[in-house]
Every structure is written in C-alpha cells, then in structure tokens.
Amino acid sequence: MSARSARETPKASATGMPEARRSDTGAALAASEPARIRNVALVGHSGAGKTMLVESLLAATGAITRMGSISEGTTVGDSDPSAIHQQRSVSMSVAPIAVGGVKVNLIDTPGYTDFTGELRAGLRAADAALFVVSAVEGIDAATVALWGECGKVGMPRAVVISKLDHPRGDFSAAVVRCREAFGEAVLPLYLPAVGNAGLVAILGAPSDGDQAPVTSVDEARGPLIEGIIAESEDETLMDRYLGGEELPLADLIQDLETAVARGSFFPVIPTSAETGVGLSELMDLLVDALPSPMERTAPAVMALDGKSIKPLACDPSGPLAAEVVRTTVDPFLGRVCLVRVFSGTLREDSSIHIGGRGLADRGHEDHDADERVTHLYAPVGSGLKAVPQCVAGDICAISKLAGAETGDTVSGREAPLLIETWNMPEPLMPIAIKGASRSDEDVLAKSIGKVAAADPTLRLERNPDTHQLILWCMGEAHAEVVLDRLRGQGVKLQTVDVITPLRETFVTKAVGHGRHVKQSGGHGQFAICDIEVEPLARGEGFAFTDKIVGGAIPATFVASVEKGVRSQMLKGVSAGFPVVDIKVTLVGGKTHSVDSSDAAFQAAGALALREAAAAAKMQLLEPVSSVVVSVPDEYVGAVMSDLSGRRGRVTGTDAAVGEGAEISAEVPDQELLRYAIELRALTAGTGRFRRAYLRHEPVPK
C-alpha cells in the first residue's frame, strides 16, 4: 500500500508483496522538514509485543545489525535495569527509523498500568497511535478505554496484530475481537499467507507471485472497499461501486489514506517481530497513511503572563515551542530531556527559555530559567546520536539542562511561551522508606529529589504527624522502579509499613493535677497546676482558658502551662498519637517565689494533661478521605460492595458523566493503602479514583 507515494507512482505496492526495505540510517537521525516526519506511539497491553516490534523495525531498516531480546534484556527500548529486571517496558522510549527518506519516530510505551504516565507522555509526543494487539492474548479493557480516549481527540490510529508466528496465534480471531472492541471501521489490509510466509494484499488484483492466503481474499475485499467508501469524501463512490463499477485502485488507496490520517478508518496489519512478516507493509502504512506533524494541531500555547497566543503551526521557521516529554538522569550527561518540537527549530548552541507550571502539588515548583543548548541528540532508545538541529515536528534529546523537568516548555529566550501540560495521572499508592543508617538518610534526602524531578508520577511527602518519608507511587511495579533508581544512586534503604496518622481525643471531661516539685538540694523546681479537660467538636483543634483567681499562678507561668500542654498533645498521651479537639481550662495551682520556672510549669502542664487522660475516656481518631471512583457501569456493584467492605460510606453515584459511573464515598485512609492496585484488579484495570483528606473520625471499636 502506498499513500502519498501512490499519487506519484500509480501502481501501488498494495497490489503485491512490497519490495525489500530500503535502508537509510543517516536520514533516520535528523529530519530536514516536517513533511518527512512521522511520530507514532506504539500502545497496547503489556506483553503485546511493542518493544519487539520496534526492535524488528530497527533491524529491518538496518538501524541495528541484529535484534536483541526481552529475556536477555538486550533490546533498544528496554535498556533500563528495572525494565530488564521486570521483563517489561517501564518507560517510554523513542527510536527513529528511516523509510524512503521519511523519519519515523517509533515511540514505544509501556503497557503495564503502573506506567500510564509514560504512556501519556508517549502519546503527547505522537501524532498517531499504533495499537499493538497480540494474536495470542487479545485485547484488555484498558486498551479498549484508551482507544475510546484517542477517538475523543481524533487521534489517527492503526492496528498491528502481533505474534503471527506464534503456534497459538490466530489472526482472524484477533481481527474479530478488534472489530468488537474498536468498531466497524477497523479492517485488515492484508491477510497472512499460508504458513505465515508473508502477507497477501486484500486490495488490488492478485499477481502470479502472490502466495495463498489463509482465508479468501475475495471475501475480505468487499467489506474493505465498502469500509473505505463509507469514509470517503467522494459521495458518488458508493453509487458507482453498487452499480458494479470497478473503482480505480489508486483512488481507493488515496481515500483509504485520507481516512486513516483523519482518524476515521483504522487499518489492520498482521505482523511477526520474530519472522519479520508484515514489517515492510507496516512501514509503508506508517509513512503513507499516518499524518505528518503538519496535519496535526499543536497543543495550545500562552505567553508567560497567561495570555493565550494564536495556535502555532508546525513550521521550522516559526517561534520555538517544544515540550519536555521525559527526563532522565545520566551519570555522565546529567539531566537528559526528551523534547518534542511543535514549532520552530531547536539548534545547538542556541539560547532557550525553560518554564514549568502547574505541578507544584507534586513537589515541582513553578519555575523559569534561561539556558543554553550545548548538545542536541537524536534518541535511539537510551542511546544518543549527536545532531545539529531538530525541526518542528521532530523529537530530540537535550543534555545538561539544569532545571528542566517533564512537562516543561522549551521556547525562545526572546519570546518565552508556555504549553499547558498534559493530564498526568495521580500517584495513589503510598510506600514508606527510610535510609538503612543515619548517613544513608542524608544520601537519601539528596537523591530522592533528583529521582522525583525526573518522574512526575511520583509524589514525595514527609508526613508531619508520623515523620515518615512517603513515596506516592502508581503501583508496586512503579515503586520498584523508584527504589531501583534510588539504589542506583548508592542509597541503602529499606521499606517500612506506612503508619496511618491517627490522633487521639477525650470523650469525657476529666481533671488533671500536675505536680512538678523537686526541692532536694540546690536550685529546686516547683510548679503545681490543676486543669479541666473537655472534648471539643471534631476539627476544632485546641482551646485554652485561664480561670485562676487570685494570681495563684502568674501570667508568664500560665503561658508555660499552656506550652507544656501543647507539647504533650503533640507527643500524645497514651497511644503516642497527637491529641486534638480538646478544651483545657486552668483552674488552680501553686507557685514558689524562688523555685518556680517556665520549665517547671511546662512539665507540670504536660503532667496534668497525662493525668487527665488517664482519668478520662479516650478515643482514637483515624483519617478519612473522600474518594471518587470512576468505573464502567458493569463494575458499579462490585466497587460499591468493595467500598463497604473497606468501612466506606457511599455518599452518591453519578451516572451522568460520560460513559460509566462515578461513585463518591468516604473511606478510612487505613483501608486505602493498597486501593490503587486493588481497584485495578477489581475492574480489569478500568477503574480510576481520586481522593482528598476529609477529616479524622473515631476508630470503631
């Protein structure tokens, strides 16, 4: 098949087996113009074969001399130690191939849910998505949801059925499942030949050299032609076709390619990374049918003051607007930023402005800095090849940018711009870590900032109540990557149980007598105070009143009593958790003219509170969060009953938001520690939730 080239060469390659691949590795690195660039993100469930597909395309175009393997950890895409260890991609990676003078940036994304942040970044850098569906395992619900999301933003898509060579691979069944999941506009352009020796084109007349397809081409041709015509802008085609007219192949192919680039028709190509079947046809499709960056709308930009600016065109001579889609820390090159250029041209030795906004809640303060591009590279997986420039539409890497983080905008120093960041997923699974020793704590404190700066799906929290260092992660696999990165920086650390920050309060009134008297030898200590403690309403915190009559305790020492009470409240009185929501009234006491002091009254105040607590009925309070879960309708029942199993109170359901439902509930934090992964298991990966601290509530007995 051949799209734009079909117009130049009337005999499209779709009529037969495509010729052997031309290789042009030089052109793969630096594109000269946007029209000769394609950015395609490979997406689909974990294990579908995305990384191997990229590997086989790199080998087929001569970019690498031999294919690596996942099990040996030798692929271009998965070179991260965590990826090798986990035997799956843990981050996005970009590798360019040259196909007939066109630079195709293959953006491999991880399929595992923990790494959706990387998937989002990959899609941001892409102009089209290639859904890789395994002929063995099929499609998961998260991939179906992603298809829908791409549909909403009109992203052009194509489908690759992978692992054709696999003994259990079933192409026809995979196509049926794709059409059920993705819709009727998904149709194969080729069929596998008997024995998977090659592909047979469905469009066009069979030639002598064609091999026998496994199923009838004639049966597949009708629906394909009708599918193309249905999406064609030429409304006369259908009548001509129904009237029995043989439509010119070149016209059909042109219509097909237009529909693909527009995101209304989705071709399916069978492939095997193992045997190389289908790679050539896939490359033709990528170049001919997928849109160039010029055909896609760039994200909205604004000036630094927030004023919006007219949309930017993908023009190498326009103002520079680029976005950091990924950041890594290289031991030699320092911070390496993967950048998608939307407008203008990035050049070596040029001055740029770097700005980031809107991620302060994850520990990434808003920032602005002028920096210099010293080195520009074309990324090839984790490898970097120096290039002099990067034009609009292309993807490159910049090293040694001191302050740049994922999501930042790179623009010209004279006309700084801001691109609104894409939607990044919120990390919702906490893990607590600490250094193995005190000196490791110091190394940890330094390294953790670096690791967090490179990963917007990681949030750090130093819990003020428990003093634990909490890493909010996307899930266990993500946590493992974060820990690997920290250990890679030489930190010896251990994970510990997350402590839920409980609090304590008084349920009944009580009095406390604080007597701190030490008068044997030397300067003595003398302080006596009597307090009454009574419960306050939830959330009211602390109130202190002085009801002493006759100056039994002078005002300065009244303040000392209050200080002592407050510090005891922070330390806790029985269970070691802070005391909240109490009113303390100072009702009496005694002072000594020489031996009384601030310290003595603080000690007496603290003691009085402990005494009162011992006499009162106390209660533990636990944090409760408001949780909003979004799920497809079929999971609503399961999610609701699971929430009540977590001591949650469902406060409402809303079915009106798009497809699926939103369930609101109030759930104790203790029950949410692993909800990020448990909800996923409960809903086949389709459930999402957000949470916000609500209040502390009594822990049920």
Ligand X SMILES: Nc1nc2c(ncn2[C@@H]2O[C@H](COP(=O)(O)OP(=O)(O)OP(=O)(O)O)[C@@H](O)[C@H]2O)c(=O)[nH]1
Where along the sequence are the contacts to ligand X (CB under 6 A)?
46-52, 70, 88-89, 110-112, 132, 162-163, 165-166, 272-274
Q: How far apart are the first and last CA of the chain?
A: 70
The residues with which 525 forms a beta bridge, in sequence order, are: 518
The dihedral region occupied by 550, where left means phi > 0, alpha psi between -120 and 50, and beta the remainder, is left
Is 384 strand, coil or helix? Answer: strand
272 binds, among Mg ion, ligand X, none (CB under 5 to 8 A by kind): ligand X
Identify which of residues 214 and 369 has a Cβ nearer to ligand X in the complex.
214
The enclosing H or E element of 188 equals strand 186-188
Q: Based on CB atoms, which residue is closest to ligand X, 51 or 411?
A: 51
Q: How far is the CB of 685 from ligand X (least distance, A)?
A: 13
Q: What residue 274 binds from ligand X, Mg ion, none (CB within 5 to 8 A, per partner kind)? A: ligand X
The H or E element containing residue 609 is helix 598-615
Distances (CA, A) of 685 to 151, 174, 630: 19, 20, 11
Which residues inside 31-50 make contact with Mg ion, applying CB under 5 A? 50
Nearer to Mg ion, 395 or 586 (CB): 395
| Contact between 439 and 384 (Cβ < 8 Å) | no
Residue 272 vs 280, nearer CB to ligand X: 272
Token pair 């991609």 is found at 89
Identity of the residue, 122 or 393, whose beta carbon is nearer to ligand X in the bound complex: 122
Report d(CA 192, CA 200) in Å as an integer.
6
We find the least distance from the C-beta atom of residue 110 to Mg ion, in angstroms, to be 6
- In whole angstroms, the minimum distance from the beta carbon of 383 to Mg ion comes to 17
166 binds, among Mg ion, ligand X, none (CB under 5 to 8 A by kind): ligand X
Q: Among ligand X, Mg ion, none, what does residue 381 contact (CB within 5–8 Å per kind)? A: none
CB of 133 to ligand X, least distance (A): 10
CB of 668 to Mg ion, least distance (A): 37
Containing 460, the helix (H) or strand (E) segment is: strand 459-462
Question: Residue 219 CB, nearest distance to ligand X (Å)?
Answer: 26
Q: For Mg ion, give the closer residue by CB, 61 or 89.
A: 89
328, β-bridge pairs: 336
Tokens of 576: 């070691």
Give the x/- contact pattern for Mg ion in 614-643, rule: CB under 5 A: ------------------------------
- Could you say which of Mg ion, ligand X, none residue 500 binds, taking C-beta under 5 to 8 angstroms by partner kind? none
Which C-beta is closer to ligand X: that of 137 or that of 611? 137
Q: What is each CA distance from 547 to 155, 304, 487, 583, in whole angstroms?
A: 71, 57, 57, 13
Distance of CA 623 to the CA centre of its chain: 27
Residue 48: contacted member of ligand X, Mg ion, none (CB under 5 to 8 Å, by partner type): ligand X
Q: Binding pattern to Mg ion, positions 566-605, x when CB under 5 A?
A: ----------------------------------------
Q: Residue count at the site for Mg ion (CB under 5 A)? A: 3
Q: Which of residues 87-106 bind Mg ion (CB under 5 A)?
A: 89
163/485 with CB nearer ligand X: 163
CA 112 – CA 118 distance, rounded (Å): 10
Residue placing its CB nearer to ligand X in the complex, 57 or 338: 57
Are 257 and 31 in contact by the 8 Å Cβ rule? The answer is: no
Smallest separation (angstroms) from Mg ion to the CB of 121 = 15
Quote the tokens at residue 701.
Answer: 């007995």
51 makes contact with Mg ion (CB under 5 A)? yes
Task: For residue 359, give the DSSP letter.
Answer: B
Measured between alpha carbons, how far is 87 from 552 in angstroms, rounded to an integer? 73
Residue 313 CB contacts under 8 Å (≥ 6 apart), including other chains: 294, 298, 343
Residues in the chain: 701
Closer to ligand X at the Cβ: 50 or 157?
A: 50
Half-sphere exposure of 294 (CA within 13 A, CB side): 9
Rounded CA gap, 495 and 471, in Å?
10
86 lies in the site for Mg ion, by CB under 5 A: no
Q: Is 162 in the site for Mg ion (CB under 5 A)?
A: no
Distance in Å, CB of 91 to Mg ion, minimum: 10
Name the binder of 113 from Mg ion, ligand X, none, CB < 5-8 A by kind. Answer: none
Q: Which residues have a Cβ under 8 Å from the Cβ of 612 and sit 6 or more positions away?
A: 506, 510, 511, 512, 531, 532, 533
The answer to whether residues 377 and 399 touch, using CB atoms and an 8 Å cutoff, is yes
Pairing of strands 186-188, 102-108: unpaired
Q: How far is the CB of 14 from ligand X (least distance, A)?
A: 23
Stretch that binds Mg ion, among 51-59, 183-191, 466-474, 652-660 (CB under 5 A): 51-59
Residue with smaller CB distance to ligand X, 380 or 510: 380
CB of 85 to ligand X, least distance (A): 13
Q: Which residue has the tokens 């974060």?
A: 482
d(CA 57, CA 23): 11
Smallest distance, ligand X to C-beta of residue 356, A: 28
CB nearer ligand X, residue 43 or residue 493: 43
Q: Which of ligand X, Mg ion, none has residue 112 at its interface (CB below 5 to 8 Å by kind)?
A: ligand X
Least distance in Å: CB of 169 to ligand X? 8
**CA 424/CA 405 separation, integer angstroms:** 13
Q: Which stretch binds Mg ion (CB under 5 A): 84-92, 210-218, 432-440, 506-514?
A: 84-92
The region that residue 154 occupies, defined by phi over 0 for left and psi between -120 and 50 for alpha, beta otherwise, is left
Residues that bind Mg ion (CB under 5 A): 50-51, 89
